[in-house]
Structure 1
Amino acid sequence: MNSSRPWLRPIVLALLLSAVAPSFAATDPSFLLTASSNDFATYFPGQLANGYFSTMTAPRGTEGNLAYMVALMDYTRDDFSRPAAIPGWTEIDYSTGTSSAGHFWMNQVALAPSVFQNYRQVLNLHDATLSTRYRYIDHSRATDVAVTTFVSQASPHLAATQLSITPDFDGIVELSFALNTWAPYQPRMPLGKLTGEQMQEAVAAHNMKLEPIAPATSDRAAFWYHGDTHVLTSHGDAKDLTLSLDGRAERGLRMAEAAAISLPDQLKPIDGKFYRSDYRLALNLRIPVRKGQTYTFTKYVAASRENWGGDARDDLALARTARTQGFDALLSAHQAAWHALWQTDVQIDGDSKAQQIVHSDLYYLLSNSTADTAWPIGACAMTPGYAGHAFWDSDSWVFPALLLLHPSRAKSLVMFRDRTLPAAQQRARERGLPGAMYPWEADPENGTEQTPYFARVLGEREIHVNADIAIAQWQYYLASGDKIWLKQHGWPVIREIAKFWTGRATFNAKKQRYEILHVTSVDEDYNDVPNDTFTNASAAKALNIATAAAAIVGETPDPRWSDIAARMLIPFSEKDGHHLDFDESVPHDMDSWGGSSLPMLSYPSLDFPMTQALRQRDYDFALSPITGSHRDPNSMGLAPTSIAAATLGDAVGASEWFRRNITADVIKPPFNVRTETATNNTGYFLTASAGLLQNMVYGFTGLRIEEAGVVEAYPPVLPASWKSLTLKHVRFRGIAYDITIDRDAAGKTRLTRTAH
């Protein structure tokens, strides 16, 4: 593996940030998510991550949990690519040593309030730490337990978990510091070649169902399982208190992990042993303890993958160095880095619930994004949800949400499309089309098409993704003003996508217009329609962008681009005076999950121009199928509807649709994990998290990113119960602003900007 570490920032630099980071009251409830023993039965795991690697949370705080690494994929033959679970690195198991019923390890004891007393677990969003406290009762022996875990934002290869125990007895206890090497997932199914019917048969044959299981198993867990990482070599040193391993994702990239353990000062274990099996790599220690004395143990972890860091030997050196510097130094640097991120914030005065959920959504987005790289963000973060693939969600949902708030993280998403342009060009050639045809589901590492075979129609027909990508490239240029970047990175993507549309559009000579046939609508239940309105409007915008970009970089645009854009059919009902969802030849009569895609015409990145009267008619027409649907509402559609209402100046409608997006139905306790729908349990759904933030950044403010700058395209609106909404420290073309919406003395909503 490449042993260079261009992203590894020394801890000392992050410590310097603490001198400039703003002071913060740790008790601010909008940043604190708390679990109690009442949550044991309904515990939906949260996530700790730094964009490069992650872990899930668990109630005890000491468990070995599933963990993932950015774009580390399993490429099992006849399957689609999927995130390979890396060895779990969090586990520190504990045993009091004896019990009347035999020997127990705490992580195997059933959760019960009588056993885990005075229980409290806090996910601190501002510090990005998980802290757990309880009194553990093992028959006649009791131990006060405190655990803190984090994945470093300051030094991305590092993480740590610290356990403190205070026994109420004298004796010998046991501790096990482990790296959990997961068994290969079974059953594996050849989902790369099964039809929808065959897939359902295979699921049934394995005695599984496509149904969610409470509290946190999604309805598609039967085929959204994690991929495999195989341990190639492993080592442990009981004297040095270290563990390390080299591994490889199935048919994929190499990775490595290491751990270095620190013990309390002057404490000497009675004995220490290195343990290795097919499923576990561990240091097992027997420790003498005295009643009432607190003993603190820390596990420093380093992780890397091919093209990001080194091998096990390099990681072991990192973990040892972290151990030498100490937990407090690593934690302080991590907190300072997160506090610097939170200088950019979305602040609500007058709605504590909305504020907390906005902070939760932003936390999960920041935890799963990287700055100045070329990796995308999966629709469900670093989890197996939607197999970790990059959809249009990355370009049209997450990218705009980050663009003003954290532009360096937004840049990584458009750079992914630049990096994987050759794969998109190859895909177009295979179909006899010019330019680049980006996948519907792109592998986050190599950009290849990874749509499951049973859903392959989406890969061929939901082609609006190509316009979405071009629009995002242009939006980044508008927000950065970087002409060099445009020429070197954005323009090649925009140009090749424009070429694709010249080959994909069809000229209707009889009606003297261009049409796009055989597409899947944004409302995917309509999977073979002519002239999907959102697709056609987006394609026309992408073509106009190509013409504009050519002029800036000194290239000659293809004259067909502007001609196709000008004569592109945008389906419209002359009788009723509003746009249609797609060609008038297709009945709009399904009880579909989307109801209507017309609100997407007002989505900030597209912002299709029309009069306010037409906008109102479109909105009124769309509401009926949206509100009348009997399908489980998809949280992806709530933000566009709120934004569409806001463009009309309808503060009541915008507020109501926003309110639906922060209800408990799609926000799972205790850590505000957002799901795709109220019942499908597809969690960590960053698409909808980003949609909610766009609702704030562009919807309520009425702001749009255009060549003239961040313009007030629509009058701002503010929910009636809110006193103000402030976008704190947003950045545009290198200048930082605070943007506030509040009301003047007469009660009129107003927007003000203050440059830093």
Structure 2
Amino acid sequence: MNRDPCRSALGRDRHARVAPGGAPAATLFGKGSLEGIALWMLWLIACAALALSAPAAATDPSFLLTATARDFPTYFPTQLGNGYVATLSAPRGTEDNLSYMAAFMDYAEGDVSRPAAIPGWSGIDYSTGTSSSGHFWLNQVALDPAVFGDYRQVLDLHDGTLTTRYRYDDHGRATRIEVVSLVSQASPHLAATQLSITPEFDGEVELSFPLALWAPHQPRFDLARLTGEQMQEAVAANNLKLEPIPPATPDRAPLWYHGDTHVLDAHGDAKGLTLSLDGRAEQGLSMAEAVAVALPEGLAPSGARVYRSPWRLSLELKARVRKGHTYTFGKFVALSREGWGGDASADLALVRQARANGFARLRADHVAAWHDLWRSDIRIEGDPESQRMVHSDLYYLLSNVTPGTAWPSGACGLTPGYAGHVFWDNDTWVFPALLLLHPERARSLVDFRSRTLPAAEARARERGLRGAMYPWESDPQHGTEQTPHPAYVLGEREIHVTADVAIAQWQYWLASGDKGWLRDHGWPVIHAVADFWASRATWVPERKRYEIPHVTSVDEDYNDVPNDTFTNVSARKALQLAARAAAVLGEKADPRWAEVADKLFVPFDARAGHHLDFDPSVPHDIDSWGGSSLPMLVLPSLDLPMEPGVRRRDYDYALAPITQSHRDPNSMGLAPLAIYAATLGDAAGANAWFQRNLHAGVMQPPFNVRTETPNNNTGYFITAAGGLLQTIEYGFTGLRLQPGGLVAAYPPVLPPTWHAFTLTHVALRGAYYDITVSRDRNGRVALTRRPAEDRP
């Protein structure tokens, strides 16, 4: 549904002059008539007035997430980001928060690569001045509802803004405070915070506009060298524990610390109210930041100075304020890194221009960009709670991926979670969720694999194999293997990632139909992956079949098994896709691809009539977090063909170890179960697994931050967010990408409490559709598709 009646009436081409009903304005009002022109102008004025008032009034409640003072003890920060830059939040709205840039990594000697924390730019500090009790700064005052009265912080997912309001009482000197923060979707190098203060006193106040220069993280561990036992000893020796500290510290925080950015040069101009710096990540890329501060109109600070210490570069100022008057300050920030933007002088020019344009302009452009993204949405009728979860997951995905680049998605987005490394999550979990709704962002994820193909080919050569062997944990900049040494076995054996990469490439081709892309980007990857599997599989003469030994299963507790079913099925599909890609492009397929694919062993219990998780010689007896990897066989991009009876028996066989496990439910594993039930036509079962994502404790309040499990606090886990969205996009719709397009592979299902749902503005081979699943009066569920109401 188009929420902007003026846009709907005036037409979808923002440059066209079209009147209500699609008729040209001159035709509707009388060609060339003064009356017509006057009416046209009145129409434009009315629409402009509506547009100015629309954001607050038209925002669907499912886009609004709110924190109150009750959340202080358990506050789990949200994220503001545009895929290039992201920062965390904090309760006051004025704190210095950790911030990261895409693929900007620290490469310390002996360590794995990790996201380098850039100088914190979000903070603005405030003091009401000297009182009889001493000098207090807002950001150092303990969070107490008696001090922070009428507290409310709202994350607007639709607008991409965070707004914080409260009455700050500093020993009898009270100030009404409002803070609005954003990371621009329209101008990716820019971010901004606007602070409005309304003092309830006359007097002098102080403000500080800093860049926080984080001290190098201590302790640092040689994770590229330490064994698992040595790592445990080192953690204990530093009086640390591998367990979560509430509310938001993950269990592996002692190992997932941020990397370092060294400030090389820094400047401040007190008269021009600007700051700028150049820096470099540890043995990594260069970067830059700049700040420009905007003062309230008519306010003349009594003093402004630049302050510099090893930990802080800031503009400090004092000003006299009057009771009941509102004073609004703006802090404009520009950020860049090597290969994306310029240096400090270029960033300084950007923030000066942004300040000249004003915060309202920056915010309006940013909000318009977010609204444009939300044209592609999943809209649910009849279940507000599920709708809010879906919007939350989409928001976090869009905040952590970029359009038109070759930068990937880390498992926890632009945070230090999993050290910012790139897993199969990028290709199998996040990519398919974006592909139909935001193909320009999805392409960045598969283009990362094309860009880093040389690194994958080098890995294969080092092991005496052909083709390309993609890392289990890839560095997002260089594509090199970065698995910590204690887990090195995963880097060597959890090789299904290489097949996952090729399958994603093919999925992009199916969705885009872009033959030029397939030739230049997808085909080289798919070809190299097929060569890898043809050389990695082993011919076993006595069984007359190919096998793949020494593999880590998707269920990683089984870290050295032969013939992992998910791995072998994925490898077979990658080999088959290579032959198909060759046929599309008129290239010659290696005949060995078909030979290995046709004779590759897939474990199956013929007597019971279902697949096994791995070779029958391996006991399936560990109480593992996964329980069974068989549900992964129906992931939409893989979707192993099988008879309905086998599919049913596989599901029943897999449920026993999953439901009987004593391990915390992993939010990553819930989506395949919901999708699996949907392929069986089991709407109630699909909905039950879907609802576990709501009620399993993996959505952390107040901002619906998804964690890996209920108890490990591994947040911003966009892997599982992608899985949840795939549940609806492919599971409930029954749709799959095939050579014939987006086809109905299974009947659609609709959760019992939902009236309907619609995928809006779905992109497929240059066309756009709205796809709806609904229930008629007789209770029959049907899928319909039609040209999108809101086209580009």
Answer whether TM exceeds 0.5 for this pair. yes
Query: Is 1:64 aligned to 2:96, yes or no?
Result: yes
Tell me which of 275, 279, 284 is aligned to 1:252.
284
> How far apart in 1 are the matches of 2:131 and 2:627?
59
Deviation sequence 1:215-251 (CA, Å, 0-9, x none): 0000000100000000000000000000000000000
Aligned-partner residue type, residue 399 of structure 1? F
> How far apart in 1 are the matches of 2:585 and 2:137?
65
> How far apart in 2 are the matches of 1:99 and 1:535?
68
CA apart distance, 1:526 = 0.3
CA contact (8 A) 1:99 1:140 kept: no
> How far apart in 1 are the matches of 2:594 and 2:681?
32
Matches within 5 A, 1:713-752: 713-752=745-784
Deviation sequence 1:546-597 (CA, Å, 0-9, x none): 0000111121000010111111111000121100000000010100000000
Give ranges in structure 2 of 5+ residues lacking alignment: 1-12, 17-46
Matches within 5 A, 1:146-165: 146-165=178-197
> How far apart in 2 are the matches of 1:629 and 1:667?
21
Aligned-partner residue type, residue 116 of structure 1? F
Query: Is 1:502 aligned to 2:555, yes or no?
Result: no
Matches within 5 A, 1:265-664: 265-663=297-695
Aligned-partner residue type, residue 306 of structure 1? E
Aligned partner of residue 455 in structure 2, secondary structure: helix
CA apart distance, 1:46 = 0.2
Aligned-partner residue type, residue 559 of structure 1? P
CA contact (8 A) 1:379 1:388 kept: yes
Aligned partner of residue 662 in structure 1, secondary structure: helix
Aligned partner of residue 66 in structure 2, secondary structure: strand
Deviation sequence 1:514-562 (CA, Å, 0-9, x none): 1100000000000000000000000000000000001111210000101
Aligned-partner residue type, residue 464 of structure 1? H
Aligned-partner residue type, residue 642 of structure 2? M
> How far apart in 1 are the matches of 2:411 and 2:59?
31
Aligned partner of residue 101 in structure 2, secondary structure: coil
Aligned partner of residue 99 in structure 2, secondary structure: coil
Aligned-partner residue type, residue 432 of structure 2? P
Aligned partner of residue 360 in structure 1, secondary structure: helix
Aligned partner of residue 751 in structure 2, secondary structure: coil
Aligned-partner residue type, residue 545 of structure 1? L
CA apart distance, 1:16 = 8.0
Aligned-partner residue type, residue 453 of structure 1? H
Greater RCO (Cα-Cα under 8 Å, separation 6 or more): 1
CA apart distance, 1:510 = 1.2
Deviation sequence 1:94-150 (CA, Å, 0-9, x none): 000022221010000000000000000000000000000000000020000000000
Aligned-partner residue type, residue 238 of structure 1? A
> What is the aligned-residue RMSD (CA, Å)?
1.4
Which structure 1 residue ranges, 4+ long, deviate > 2 Å from structure 2? Answer: 14-27
Give ranges in structure 1 of 5+ residues lacking alignment: 1-13
CA apart distance, 1:169 = 0.6
Aligned-partner residue type, residue 97 of structure 2? N
Aligned partner of residue 68 in structure 1, secondary structure: strand
Aligned-partner residue type, residue 390 of structure 1? V
Deviation sequence 1:480-502 (CA, Å, 0-9, x none): 00111101110000000000001
> How far apart in 2 are the matches of 1:296 and 1:65?
21
CA apart distance, 1:293 = 0.4
CA apart distance, 1:21 = 9.7
Aligned-partner residue type, residue 473 of structure 2? E
> How far apart in 2 are the matches of 1:461 and 1:52?
32
Deviation sequence 1:702-737 (CA, Å, 0-9, x none): 000000010000000111000001101111101110
1:120 is matched with which residue?
152
Matches within 5 A, 1:207-226: 207-226=239-258
> How far apart in 2 are the matches of 1:273 and 1:326?
23
Aligned partner of residue 333 in structure 2, secondary structure: strand
> How far apart in 1 are the matches of 2:556 and 2:208?
49
1:699 is matched with which residue?
731
Tell me which of 694, 700, 707 is aligned to 1:675.
707
Deviation sequence 1:9-54 (CA, Å, 0-9, x none): xxxxx99899999966444210000000000000000000000011
CA contact (8 A) 1:162 1:298 kept: yes
Deviation sequence 1:273-316 (CA, Å, 0-9, x none): 10001100000000110011000000000000000000000000
> How far apart in 2 are the matches of 1:26 and 1:276?
45
> How far apart in 1 are the matches of 2:721 and 2:772?
21
> How far apart in 1 are the matches of 2:148 and 2:413?
31
Query: Is 1:262 aligned to 2:294, yes or no?
Result: yes
Query: Is 1:35 aligned to 2:67, yes or no?
Result: yes
Aligned-partner residue type, residue 264 of structure 1? P
Tell me which of 120, 131, 137 is aligned to 1:99.
131
Aligned partner of residue 390 in structure 2, secondary structure: helix
CA contact (8 A) 1:167 1:293 kept: yes
CA contact (8 A) 2:249 2:713 kept: yes
CA contact (8 A) 1:435 1:497 kept: yes
CA contact (8 A) 1:716 1:751 kept: yes
Aligned-partner residue type, residue 88 of structure 1? G
CA contact (8 A) 1:21 1:339 kept: no
CA apart distance, 1:754 = 0.7
Deviation sequence 1:324-344 (CA, Å, 0-9, x none): 000000000000000000011
Matches within 5 A, 1:169-184: 169-184=201-216
2:697 is matched with which residue?
665
2:176 is matched with which residue?
144
> How far apart in 1 are the matches of 2:271 and 2:578?
63
Aligned partner of residue 654 in structure 1, secondary structure: helix
CA contact (8 A) 2:665 2:696 kept: no
Query: Is 1:83 aligned to 2:126, yes or no?
Result: no
CA contact (8 A) 2:603 2:616 kept: yes
1:7 is matched with which residue?
none
Aligned-partner residue type, residue 566 of structure 1? D
> How far apart in 2 are the matches of 1:664 and 1:174?
46
CA contact (8 A) 1:729 1:737 kept: yes
CA contact (8 A) 1:21 1:340 kept: no
CA contact (8 A) 1:15 1:333 kept: no
Aligned-partner residue type, residue 727 of structure 2? N
Aligned residue pairs, count: 743
Aligned-partner residue type, residue 191 of structure 1? L
CA contact (8 A) 2:411 2:423 kept: yes
> How far apart in 2 are the matches of 1:26 and 1:367?
22
